[in-house]
Each structure stands twice: as structure tokens, then as C-alpha cells.
Amino acid sequence: METMFEKVGAMGGNKGGAFDDGVFDGVKKVIVGRDFDSVTYIKIEYEKDGKFETREHGTIRGELKEFTVDYPNEYITAVGGSYDHVFSYGTVLIKSLIFKTTYGRTSPILGVTTLFGNPAGREFMLEAKNGGKLLGFHGRSGQALDAIGPHFFAVNSPLKHFKLQGGNGGNAWDDGAFDGVRKVLVGRNGKFVSYVRFEYAKGERMVPHAHGKRQEAPQEFVVDFPNEHITSVEGTIDGYLSSVTFKTSKGRVSPAFGNVVGNKFVFEETGFKLVGFFGRSGDAIDALGAHFAPLPVPPPAPAPAPAPAPAPAPAPAPAPALAPAPAPAPAPAPAPVPTLVSIPTPASPPIPASVLVPVHSPVPAPAPVSSGSSGGTGSNTGGSGLDTGSGGLQKMETQGGEGGNQWDDGSDHEGVMNIYVAAGGLGIENIKFDYVKNGETKEGTFHGVKARAIISTIVIGHPEEYLVSVEGWYDSSNIIQGIKFQTNNTTSDFIGYEYSGDGTQFSLQVKDKKIIGFHGFADSHLNSLGAYFVPVSSSSSSLTPPPNKVEAQGGNGGETFDDGAFDDVRKVYVGQGDSGVAYIKFEYEKNGKRETREHGKQTLLGTEEFEVDSDDYITSVEFYYEKIFGLPTDIITSLIFKTFKSKTSQPFGMVSGNKSVLEGGKIVGFHGRASNVLHSLGVYVSSSRTSSTPVTPSFKLPAKGGNGGVSWDDGVHDNVRKVYVGQGDSGVAFVKFEYDKGSELLVGDGHGKMSLLGTEEFVIHPDDYITSVKVYYEKLFGLKAEIITALIFKTFKGITSQPFGITSGDFFLLEGGKITGFHGSSSDVLHSIGAYMSLSSIPMLRGKWIQVEQKSNEPGPRCSHAIAMVGEKMYSFGGELTPNFHIDQHLYVFDFKTHTWSLAPPNGDVPDLPCLGVCMVAIGTTLYVFGGRDGHRNYNGFYSYDTVKSEWKLITHVNKGPAPRSFHAMAADAENIYVFGGVSTTARLNTLHAYNIVSEKWIELTNPGESCKARGGPGLAVVHGKIWVVYGFSGDEMDDVHCYDPVESKWTKVETSGEKPWGRSVFSIAVVGKYIIISGGEIDMDPKAHLGPGILIGGAFVLDTENLMWEKLEEGHSPRGWCASTTASIDGKKGLLMYGGKSPTNGRYDDIFFYGVDSA
């Protein structure tokens, strides 16, 4: 039978030599090679008439990865990936490839990915109508793969095509057309047809294609091909394919495979036979269609033999027909426009091999662009443009490439506060500036197009720090390729591409002036940039005006108080009473010393606090006041504080009554009226600021420990280079730090008192830095307050110092970035310590914590339970309310659409055992629950719950399969459930088991050996086909990571670095792309073991499984462990979902938190 195919235009660039492999019967394997920037090589293994042939294109550079299908049962139906301009080659290339198959599988991304694990560049997906089979490739290649397009099976006009009958679920597939059908196998799952396998005839060969999910044993119908063929297909649709029946040319009729319910359909045409199927399927057969071909015309009956006659003279032989010469391979179409081409089944003329042409040479440097109103003015370091005088405003015209739309942020600012830059594969995609205007932050707008590129942020500590210059460069694309910023204190790194000599550089700088605004041109990218300059002295007067006293507002009762004006407000304490705000205390700072003022009367309710960071200040106070029944005058009922860096306090009190706002600049003092309550409040406002934020943003972690001694503060530096610690009789008596600041080495003051024991040192390598400090503290006999007893330092490269001191008492962690300075308090000993943290300018993940609202009565507080997501519903099972006492065996359902709870119907093999320490995962619409125990240490087996049928099923009894256990870990991929570790009836475990949902069998995988100790409470994750074991408890809290490769059956102990979290167990875990996110957990076991809470923590961290680096995420929930967690997608964001858990007071939580990833 003649093969018809559809040639879809190639996607990618237009360089390289054209190739066209032609069409084959199918593709069995694809091997892809990549370098740092693009796909450089592809090798395809085709099948034609039972023989395998290979074609390869491009150049092998670096790692090769392959994608294999279960050919011929499975075949590729879609080719996708991404392409983009690759700067190192100077042209557009294919950056990644993805393949989809009839089994619903999607290959890993073969090629270059973003940090978030998505294809890098402009994505594309090429697929035929109705899931046609991939038959071949065409495209362009040279030193790399420039472009690629597919040949797909397409329908042939002589065929009769019966359209799909059924639903739109599952994945589309089209087996194509063959000579006939030899055998049909049909499998059921309850009332639906879940599986079909067709064995087609092609010449003398049998070609099988299978679809759906095999669950019950299939039934078969055999056709006596070529003497018999199928003439009719009859079936019923009841949501899915519910039954199918076949009739043949010999009058035979198959049994009705399935349940004959629903809407009936018939595929039949007189004079035609069945030659192929197409359809849609997932876990069942969603829809079915068919290809029929005309029956061959029978040869005429032989005529009776005529009487012999003389033989005629032989005619001259006809001239042989000339075979057409093969056409040259066509150039790729600019867009995927289908072209139908007919090729006869016999071997086609060979397609001539492409010539590989080396085209990826460096791009020559373009000539400088000329000045014009629609673009830049070329390289310039002077001050061309508008100038109001040597001491006034000066506008420098735009520098960069031509083109784009004009924008102008204006020049009515005091300075630049924040800079946001996004760099993509083609250059700078967008830019935004925040300014200071009238003492307040004025947020700018993005110029360019906001895409998925990572945004780099630069924070400038106005007014002491200001922007003095911008350097950058652009190329022949007229797009700015790289840019960096310089302040009077420091210079940022290049954002985008660093200049390599191939392009045009520019600079925005005027001597003795600073930048207060920007203008430029942008469209899909940033084309050019100009700036407004003013003299440095114009907004930096050495004379500080006196603070402005803003009149108090509220009631007129009580007595007047006036704290006066200070340098800063560092902390506010607010105490509530029965009616409103009863008490307020302010902690001020003046000339480096702290002073407090308090007003009103403190009640038994105590106080709540709002602390202001050292590089921030209060700019606004919003409060409410009203006359309460029984009181003669108005009182203040609520207070809300806001800072320059947009930090907002909680509402202190009840938000009711009249609203008032105190604002106008930096608040440096308070005044008002108070009695037993707070009646009114006013402020002192100063226009001066004391922010000293470095270009890399930092924040101050408050000092913890004891409250004795005198405060000290080393401030913010670039790096900590050396630590000196001296011990005394009771604890840490002395600390001193050496810092880098610019090119200088600064030796800090010693804090505390050095004893005769001297000091010990911890030296940090120049290429490394401190990311975390573990601090032990306790109150010792004879001392009035707690003191620091030990310090342990950890660095980015995973180096951990010795414990300096005795590790006893409570401890806390200083972590969250790069430590650039320390502060604290000391006397003859060290009482407390805190740190300055510098954040990464390009975080791995950007996301946000939210607490999920619950509108109905929830199941109640619990820990040691399990959750899993199916669609928009979270399922919860098991848990405990008090230590070692199970709750129930109900399966609870939380609907994210309605934010309400319900009970799942308890049908089928409902688990007999209410259990704790249980695990649950979901594959598709089915939940799988394994292990756990009750309070009497009876253990659970292995169950599934079908969320569509609302039915439990016992899969493996507790005495079969893996050993009974609790506090283990589970994870899943598309077909396998993995179980690792946990605590059995006698010991902790380190075994890894897998249950395959297709074969329905357990297997024990390779044991990791002694390098991965047996443990309970570990994290388990499947990332890109590999299984990761993270941390856990093995007598001590572990901080190791292990990876198992199922293909090679090999374990690897992975050495991680970065902002590595301290050892922990029973934490929450999720997977987003190549990232593993963990949050919370127990970092020190309780002396009472499971009966106590242990030391719990609330920090979240992310591990990049490719570069093996950790990074700390923002805090989002209170300290907790023993939570239930899973990966979830909510409102279009993927992230970590966690429910419940154990509190530090040994209580149980019932709240739901979600960390949704915005970008990576």
C-alpha cells in the first residue's frame, strides 16, 4: 500500500546544510548530543521493511542522551523543543528537543534547559493531525543542529476514514494504514475497554501497535489473513469505549469485547476492508476511529484457450522508461505548513547525503551605529545632550543600538533606589528602575518585554550611596548584550554577556555627577539607554534640617508625653488591653546607643514586637481610634507600622473606628497622650536617612542568646575571612573576626575577654564564605543570664568548623545567605550573637508562601500523617494527635476550589488499621498507601484508592512485599512507587523497594550499603528518572544526600555545597523541575524520643540536583516537623504543599501552607 506523509516545516535557524532523511516505517531510537549552549548532534535509528537504518546530523560535542520507544507497539507522535540565537555561534540553533509517544510518554528534555527545568529559548511543538506516526526527519545542520522538522503519516485519499467516536481525553495516536489486520487483542478495566493491541500485516511481516493500559487479561480475535479480512467494526461509547465487535469477509463475528452500553457506532463500507486504526487513549481507550481501503479488484477469469495459430512476427521491444532523478532536499519552510507527498511502498530512490558546511564562525564586529532619534548614539563617555549649566541637570542621549519604542522615566528624582535587569539568550530583555522622590520610594515600570528570564536586582543605599555610571555593549542585533552599574561604593557584576571584543561598548558617566533618572528605547529587548545627571552635592547637603513635629491625633484624655527626636526607631512594643492599645514602648538609637521610652499601662496580655532592620526605618504609622462605651474620650484601638523597604507590621489591636495616618519621611520619634490606655499619637519626621545597604542586598538577623553584657556591632562587609574564638571556664569568652572590605583586610575589635586558654581559629578560603552558624547557649549556675557555650561555622563549599566550646543547652541557627558581618553582646563572656546576611543576586527560585484558607470544619490537628494530590483535591490519611496514639482510618478530602473538607466514601477493602507514620502517593487518579502503625505497633499493608470509583483495594498484605515499617519515605514516577528506609519492627532500614503498577510486582532494588546509613524520617524524591535520598535520622540527624540511578542500578553519595541546611529529619519535601525543596523538620532529637517534640525548625531550602548547590528560601511558617507534604500545582504554580505537623510545644497543627514557585 502506498504510504502518504505530511512534511512539516522545520523550526530553527537558516544556516548549515540542508538534510532530508525521507520516510521510513517508524523511528525506534533518537540520540541527542549537546554542548553548553545548543543541540549539536542528532542520530536517528529508523525501521524500514524489518531492517534498521541510522542517519546522523551535526557534530558530536559533549554528553549524548538517548530516547528509545517500545517499537513497534509504541511510536513517536510529536516533536518539540526550543530554538534561540546562540551568541557563541552567531546564529539561531536548536537548543533542546522533546518527543511524545502513543503511550502518553514525554521524553526528558534533551538539550539545554533553564534553571527551572524548562526548555531554554523559544519553545515549539510539531505534531500531525490525530497523532500521526513520525516517519522521518529533515532540517539543517553543520557544526550544530540549526533546524529540524518531521515527516508524519498522513491519510491517503483512496482510503475511507471513519472519524473518531468517543471523548477528547487521553493522547491522540494514528497507527497508519497497512495491508490488513492479522489479530486484535482487547483488555478491560471494569466496564470500559482499557487496552487494545492490533497486529497488522505489512508484506510478510507483522507490525504490532498497542494503546491504553493493560489491566485485566486481554481477549483476542484472530483473522485468517490474507484469505480473510475485517469488513466491519461495531462498538459502543459510554464516556470511554465500552465495547467493540468485529466482522470478517468470511461472515465470522467476534464476541462483543466489553459491556455493550452507551451510544452505538459502526465502521463499514461496501467494497472496503479495515487497514488501520487511530484514536485517543490514556488509562482507557477514550475514542476510536478507523482507516478502510478498497478491496483489490479480482483478476479477470481466464478465457478458454484458443485454437493454435501461427505465431506473429515479434514486435520491437518498447524503450525502457527513464526513472526520475531524485530531487534535491528542500530548504526548510519558515513556518510548519503541511505538504502532502506520495511515495510508493517499494524502495524509494536514495536521497543524496547532505554536505556539512562549517557555518558557525564568529560574528564580525559591527560598525558603530550613527546617531538618530530612533536609537542610540554610539560609544560616548562625555556629557552630550541637554545641560542646564555646569552645576545643573544634564541629559545624556541614548547609547546603544537603533530601533525600539522611546520611553523616559523623567528627571524629577533624588536618586536611584533599585535596579531590575532581565537577561535572556538574545540580550537584555527588560529593565526597571525604582527611584527616590520626596523621601519616598517611587516604583518604576519595566521597559522591554517581561519573559521567563531571571531578574537580577541591585539595591542602592540612598542617600549615602548613589549611582555614578553605567557601562554596556551592543552588537549587530541592535540589542544591548551586557550591562553593569557602578555606585560611589562598589561595582556590580556584568548582567547578561560580558564584552568579548565583538561589538560596540558604551558608557554613561559625567564627572562629579550622579544619575537620578533614565530614558531609552526598547521593544522586545532593550535597544539603548540614556541618563539624567545632577551634581553629587545637589541632594547631599551636609546641613541636616531639624525634624518636623507632626501633630498628635486621636483622643484628648490622659497626660501628654514627648520622647523627642532620635537617629532611629529600632523596635516597637505594643500591649493590648480590654478596649484598645493599653501600652506602648519605643526602643530608639542615638549616636550608637539604645534608649527606651514607655507609655500607658502594661496588662497581663503582655506585648507584641515590631523590629526595624538596621538598614531600614519607619516611614508611616496607620492607626485607628474611637470612643469606647464607658470611656469619656477616644482611645487608640489599633496600630500598623510601615518601613522604607515596604515591610509592614501586623495590626496591633482591633481595626475599628476612625483611621489616621502619620507620614512624611523618616520617623525618628513619637509624642502623644496616655493614661492606662493610649489616647493619641504624633511623630517627629526627618528627611535624612542612614541606610547603608550594599549593592548586594543584605539584612540583619537579630542577636539571640542571653540579654546580658554590652552591645557591639561590626557592621556589613564584603566577606568574613577569619574567626577567632576563645573559651573560658563556662563558655565562649571571646570572639574576633577579620573581614574583607573592598581591597582592604579589616581586623575587627575583640568582643568579650580573652582567657589564658587563648584562641582557636577558623580560616575561610578566599573562594569560600560562611553561610551558617550553629550557636549553643544556656544559663549556667551562678550566672544571671544565658551565655554562648559553643559556636560551629559552616561554609558555602560544605566545610564545617570544629565545635568551638561545649555543645550543650539550647541552640539556634544563623543562616539565610552569605554572612558579611556579626553583632551581639558581651561582657567577660559572649552573651548573644547575630549576623548580617547578603542575599544571592540571582536566587535559584523565586516564590511565595501562602496559608490556605479552610472554610469548613477540618479533620483536626495531627502529625505523622500523609497527603497526596489528585487534580485540585488534597487527600489526607492517618496521623496522631498525641504521641503514639493513632486517630482514625478515614480518608479526608480538601477541595481547593471550594476550600472545604469532606470524607471520601469508604468502599472496598477499607484499611482495618488506623495508623501513624504512614506514606501515600498518587499516580494518575489512584492513591497508594503503604505502611504505618497503630499505637500498639500493629502495621499496615499496601493499599490503593481509586478516586474515580471511590474504592479501596488491598494490594499486598502486611506480611507480603517489603518489611512492615513506619516513618519511611515514598515517591513515585509514572509507573513505579518507591519506598525507602523507615523503622521496622526491630530496626531502622536503608532498603529501596519499587512496585510497578503495570506488572503489579514488588522488587527490591540495589542496596546502598554502609555509605547510606539506615534511617527514619528521610526525604525521598524522583528527579528526571533518578531517586534521591535526602537527610533523615540514624541515631543522629543526618545531612547527607544519596542518588540512585535505576538504569545503571548504581548508588552515589552526593557531595553538596552552598547554603547547606543542618542535618534534620521528618521534614516536608517536594520536587519542582530539577529542584528538591525541603522545609521544617527536626534538627535535634528529643530526650523522650517520639514522646517529645525535639528541636523543630521552620526554614526552607532548595537543592539544585544538577550543580548540587543548596540555597535558603524565605521563611513561611512556624517551626514544625512530622508534617504531611507533597508536590502540588495550585493556581498555575507548582510547589510544596504541607498540612499539619508537630509544634515545638509538642502540640499539633491543623493549618495548610503552600510555597508556590514563581520563577527559577
CATH superfamily for 846-1159 is Kelch-type beta propeller (2.120.10.80)
- Give one word for 705, left, alpha or beta, with left for phi > 0 and alpha for psi -120 to 50: left
pLDDT score recorded for residue 695: 39
Domain 698-838: CATH superfamily, name plus number: Jacalin-like lectin domain (2.100.10.30)
Class of domain 394-539: mainly beta
DSSP per-residue letters across 1096-1150: E---EEEEETTTTEEEEEPP-S-S-BS-EEEEEEETTEEEEEEEEEE-TTS-EEE
Buried b (16+ CB within 10 A) or exposed e, 935-952: eeeebbbbbbbbbeeebb
E strands present in 555-709: 559-562, 568-576, 581-590, 593-600, 608-611, 618-627, 634-643, 652-653, 658-663, 666-674, 678-686, 698-705
Instruction: Measure Cα distances from 1003 to 399, 931, 979, 999, 1048 in Å.
Output: 65, 16, 11, 11, 16
Which one of 55, 689, 721, 988 is the catalytic residue? 988
Distances (CA, A) of 625 to 556, 628, 649, 659, 681: 11, 9, 18, 7, 10
Return the H-helix or E-strand segment holding 77.
strand 76-86
As a whole number of angstroms, the distance between CA 506 and CA 483 comes to: 10
Task: Tell me how crowded residue 1102 is: count the other CB atoms within 10 A of its CB.
Answer: 26
Round to whole Å and give the CA distance between 847 and 210.
42
Per-domain boundaries in the chain: 3-154, 160-294, 394-539, 548-686, 698-838, 846-1159
Confirm if 287 and 165 have CB atoms less than 8 A apart.
yes
Calculate Rg over the CA atoms of the chain.
Answer: 36
CB 582 within 8 A of CB 663: no
Residue 1104 C-alpha from the chain's centroid = 10
One DSSP character per residue, 556-577 reads --SEEEE----SEEEEEEEEE-
In the annotation, is 34 catalytic? no
Instruction: Please name every residue paired with 577 in a beta bridge, in sequence order, or none if there are none.
Output: none
Q: What is the pLDDT of residue 154?
A: 66
Count Cα neighbours of 59 within 13 Å in the Cβ-side half-sphere. Answer: 16
Q: Which residues pair with 396 in a beta bridge?
A: 531
Contact (Cβ atoms closer than 8 angstroms) between residue 227 and residue 152: no
For 750, 752, 783, 829, 1130, the CA distances from 755, given in Å and listed in that order, are 12, 10, 18, 10, 57
Summarised one tens digit per residue, pLDDT across range 304-323 is 444 444 444 444 433 333 33
The domain at 548-686 falls in which architecture? Answer: Aligned Prism (2.100)
| C-alpha cell read off for 507 | 558608557
Three-state DSSP state, 129? helix
Sequence-distant (6+) residues with CB within 8 A of 1015 are 981, 988, 990, 1032, 1033, 1034, 1038, 1065
Residue 620, all three cell numbers: 508611616
Q: How far apart are the first and last CA of the chain?
A: 51
| Residue 400: predicted pLDDT | 93
Buried/exposed 607-618: b ≥16 CB within 10 Å, e otherwise: beebebbbbbbb
* Among 226, 232, 276, 284, CA closest to 254: 232
β-pairing verdict for 1057-1058 and 1109-1113: parallel
CA separation (Å) from 735 to 64, 506, 726, 752, 807?
A: 52, 47, 6, 7, 17
Among 913, 906, 854, smallest CA distance to 879 is for 913
Contact by Cβ (8 Å): 679, 556: yes
Q: Which three cell numbers stand for residue 817?
A: 545567605
Evaluate whether 14 touches 332 at the Cβ level (below 8 Å): yes
Q: How far apart are CA 478 and CA 372, in angstroms?
A: 13
Low-confidence ranges of the chain (pLDDT < 50): 1-2, 301-391, 452, 539-544, 688-696
Nearest Cα to Cα of residue 230 among 285, 155, 158, 291:
291
Q: Is the dihedral of CA 701, 702, 703, 704 positive or negative?
A: negative
Task: Reply yes or no on domain 3-154 having CATH 2.100.10.30.
Answer: yes
Active-site residue, 988 included: yes
Q: Where are the beta strands (DSSP E) in 764-898?
A: 770-778, 787-795, 804-805, 810-815, 818-826, 830-838, 846-851, 866-870, 873-877, 880-882, 885-886, 891-895
- Residue of 197, 933, 1015, 1120 with catalytic role: 933
Please tell us whether the domain made up of 160-294 is placed in CATH 2.100.10.30: yes
Quote the pLDDT of residue 252: 93
Per residue in 535-560, pLDDT (tens digit) is 886 544 333 456 778 888 998 889 99
Q: Which residues, 6+ apart, have CB-to-CB distance to 1028 below 8 Å?
A: 1019, 1020, 1021, 1022, 1041, 1042, 1043, 1044, 1076, 1105
Give the pLDDT confidence score for residue 1149 in this predicted structure.
93
Same fold flag, 3-154 and 548-686: yes
Determine the pLDDT at residue 861.
92
CB-based contact 915:932 (threshold 8 Å): yes
Bin 572: left if φ > 0, else alpha if -120 < ψ < 50, else beta. beta
Cell numbers linked to 273: 476492508
Q: Whole-angstrom Cα distance, residue 674 to residue 599? A: 6
Residue 1011's φ and ψ, nearest 5 degrees, are -65, -25
pLDDT for res 452: 47
3 state SS of 1089: helix
